[in-house]
Structure 1
Amino acid sequence: MPLPDLNQLRTFVVLYELRSLTATADRLHVTQPTVSYTLRQLRARFGDDLFHRQGHVMVPTPRASRLFGPLHEALAQIDATVSSPDEFDPATFDGELALALTSIGEQTFLPPIMPALARAAPHLHLKVERLDADLVADGLLRGTIDLAVTVSLMESPHLWRTPIRSVEYVALSSAAHPLPPTDPAMFAGRRFVRVSARGGHVYPLQAMIEQGLMAQVKLTVEEYATVPAVLEATDLVVLLPRHVADVFCGWFPGLRIAELPWPARSTPVAIYSRGEASLSPAQRWFRSVMFEAVAAGEYRVA
């Protein structure tokens, strides 16, 4: 059986990314029957269904998932070879780029990144997607997300990662109910807020379990956004990254940071994207601007 041609492989890659025959046809400017015919040819060539329909979604098989990364990178290298290296001009770019952030990532990183984007690409539309640590790698590989910023460690040969700042954890409480500084018994009798680890910050939960503090949790929330207002009005305590605590204290002067009485560091916050060969010129530019805007001093190149 002959090898698939480039158009067939491109159809496979786009279908994997979009999970829809109709959307794939629209993206490739062909008819839906053409996409269906190409899929039948690919199924025969690879001896696998490649995609199963579940409702309106085309769900890839394990074989399709193994094929996607290498085929996407190969097509991206071909596109980069035949395209002009100077074809991307951020000043005239009026498309959309997607950035995955947690709620605290929005609060920490959007203030520096938005002015940088406005200066370089005034017509760009930035779409912020809520980051779910369990789903973000798939979104990056499929191209539904251009960049992600997270402490989650995603070990994939098809993803590019660079640290942008270290993460140190502290305790935050109301100034009306301060914590003793670095006292091993500083949390005796105190009540805690627990925040979901879906955004990747798993250290606070791990520390509370290890230190026997889970019985003192009185409030569990999904996001950090409402935590500072709750802390200011109560005697509750939360464990969170220092750079986030600094932002919250700037908004709520009635909050106070306390050092933890044990070592409290995790993997660094990092920017993730597709691998270098798979990036479009717009994505490559976006990644460089993002790094310059948000990287802390310890990770910048002099």
Structure 2
Amino acid sequence: MKDLNLLYVFEALWRERSVTSAAESLGVTQAAVSSALKRLRASYGDKLFILIGRRMEPTAIAISVAPALLESLSLVRKATGVPLPFVPEQSHRTFTIRTRDIGEVVCLPGLYQAVHNVAPEVKLRTLFTPIEETVPALGNGRLDVAIGYLPALEQDIHRKKLLTQRYVCVMRKGHPFESRKLNAKALLAQDHLLVEYGGSGHLVLERALVDAGARDRIKVRLPQYMSAVHVLIESDLVWIAPEILAAKLSRHYPLAYQTEPLGLEPFEIGLYWHDRYHRDTANKWLRSMIVSLFADTGSTPATEDFHTLALPLG
């Protein structure tokens, strides 16, 4: 294949299974991708990708040549050592961030404004993948980065600590303990709401309550953070949650919070990305925007350098 740009288009179509999404990921127009696909089809005498439902699925020929083409592109990247330039002011790219609703609430409003000011045509998308699917999704480009408390993300993953957080006890305004100090004994006598999801580091919350003898006091279990708010404001339940989320929500909902008395260890909110995209200029730009956003929150920003973890996925 004489035109190297066609390799990038093939890779994007292989990954995205959509002309529109491929164009967004490459930061070019849909017409440019369609034109490149037409040239690819002419080169191979095959349609290569066929629209089935809403997805451009590869043909048997595309499946057979994909390993060699993708490996060739990887070798080109390694051989040149020069990443493709990323010009945010001209880009139409869509960046996909793996986060839960907590990350959307805390991070997305500020990130959108920061990105929009610099790159008005760049789009943001959030996607929540199970923990076991997140590393593959970061590796194949379906996800650009992940944000959160994700200690299980390790294999071939880079991590940047964004800030350190502590847990607080959240309750409705007017709760009997809104203006009274909750000690450990009083906390364990309360009914609790618990947001749970396997793979998250916040599993420590359930362990702490159970170990303290409050298993039967966990009255409501939910998989989402935002739905917890609506249960909380109409009950006397207490919710142990990250302080950054409690502070954000208390600006918009009738909530109060105070330091939790169980002595739970602080935890780190991190930014994660795959080694495959460590030097990718677009990915680096997005990471810099996110790091700057957290540095401007008023919380203590991270000071450690970027580093790679190469341990098996837990």
* Root mean square deviation of aligned Cα: 3.5
- Cα 1:169–1:74 change in 2 (3 A) is farther
Aligned to 1:88: 86
Amino acid at match of 1:210: D
The correspondence for 1:37, drawn from 64, 88, 102, is: 64
Q: Name the residue aligned to 1:213.
A: 214
- TM superposition score normalised by structure 1: 0.74
In 2, Cα distance between equivalents of 1:10 and 1:90: 19
| Corresponding position of 2:283 | 283
2:161–2:302: 8 Å Cα contact kept in structure 1? yes
Distance 1:38 1:225, change over 3 A: same
Q: Distance between the aligned counterparts of 2:261 and 2:99, measured in 1? A: 29
1:278 Cα deviation from its structure 2 partner: 4.5
Unaligned runs of 5+ in 1: 1-5, 43-67
Any unmatched runs of 5+ in structure 2? 23-33, 42-47, 49-58, 305-314
Aligned partners of 2:286 and 2:61: how far apart in 1?
34
1:130 Cα shift? 2.0
The structure-2 alpha-carbon separation of the partners of 1:285 and 1:190, relative to structure 1 and needing over 3 Å to count, comes to same
Q: CA deviation at 1:250?
A: 1.0
Q: Secondary structure at the match of 1:234?
A: coil
CA shift in 2, pair 1:192/1:99, >3 Å: same
| 1:77/1:278 contact within 8 Å kept | no
Q: Distance in 2 between matches of 1:279 and 1:260?
A: 41
Per-residue deviation at 1:291?
0.9
Q: Is the 8 A contact 2:233 2:255 kept in 1?
A: yes
Q: Aligned partner of 1:122: which letter?
A: P
What's the offset of the Cα at 1:38? 3.0
| 3-state secondary structure, aligned to 1:299 | coil
Q: 1:289 to 1:271 in 2, by over 3 A?
A: same
Deviation by residue 1:72-100 (Cα, 9 ceiling, x = unmatched): 8655434643x55xx32100101111011
Cα distance in 1 for residues equivalent to 2:278 and 2:76: 8
Is residue 238 from structure 1 mapped to residue 239 from structure 2 by the alignment? yes
State how far apart, in whole Å, the 2-side matches of 1:138 and 1:109 are: 23
Structure 1 residue 171: Cα displacement? 1.0
Counterparts in 2 of 1:106 and 1:155: CA distance versus 1, 3 Å: closer
Shift of 1:132: 3.1
- 2:229 is aligned to 228
2:168 to 159, 167, 170: 170
Partner of 2:256: 256
The SS at the match of 2:183 is coil
SS of equivalent to 2:301: helix
- What is the number of equivalent residue pairs in this alignment? 262
Distance 1:199 1:226 in 2: 20
The alpha carbon displacement at 1:198 in A equals: 4.2
Deviation at 1:294, TM superposition (A): 2.0
Q: How does 1:118-197 map to 2 (within 5 A)?
A: 118-154=116-152, 156-179=154-177, 180-197=180-197
What SS does structure 1 have at the residue aligned with 2:206? helix
Inter-CA distance 10–117: structure 2 relative to 1 (3 Å threshold) = closer
CA contact (8 A) 1:90 1:120 kept: yes
Aligned-partner Cα distance in 1 for 2:65–2:168: 55
Residue 292 of structure 1 pairs with residue 295 of structure 2:
no
Q: Which amino acid aligns with 1:243?
A: I
C-alpha contact (below 8 Å) 2:188/2:212 kept by paired residues: no
CA-CA distance at 1:124 after TM superposition: 0.5
Question: Partner of 2:54 in structure 1?
Answer: none
For residues 223-242 of structure 1, give each alpha carbon's deviation from its aligned partner in whole angstroms, at most 9, with x where no partner exists: 01022222121101111111
Question: Separation in 1 of the partners of 2:155 and 2:73?
Answer: 13
Deviates more, 1:110-119 or 1:198-207: 198-207
How far has the Cα of 1:33 moved from its partner? 4.0
* 1:11–1:35 Cα contact (<8 Å) kept: no
Task: Indicate the percent of aligned positions where both proteins have the same amino acid.
Answer: 19
User: In the alignment, is the contact (CA less than 8 A) between 2:138 and 2:145 conserved in 1?
Assistant: yes
Per-residue displacement from partner, 1:190-229 (whole Å, max 9, x unpaired)? 2111212247222222222222222112211110102222
State how far apart, in whole Å, the 1-side matches of 2:236 and 2:149 are.
28
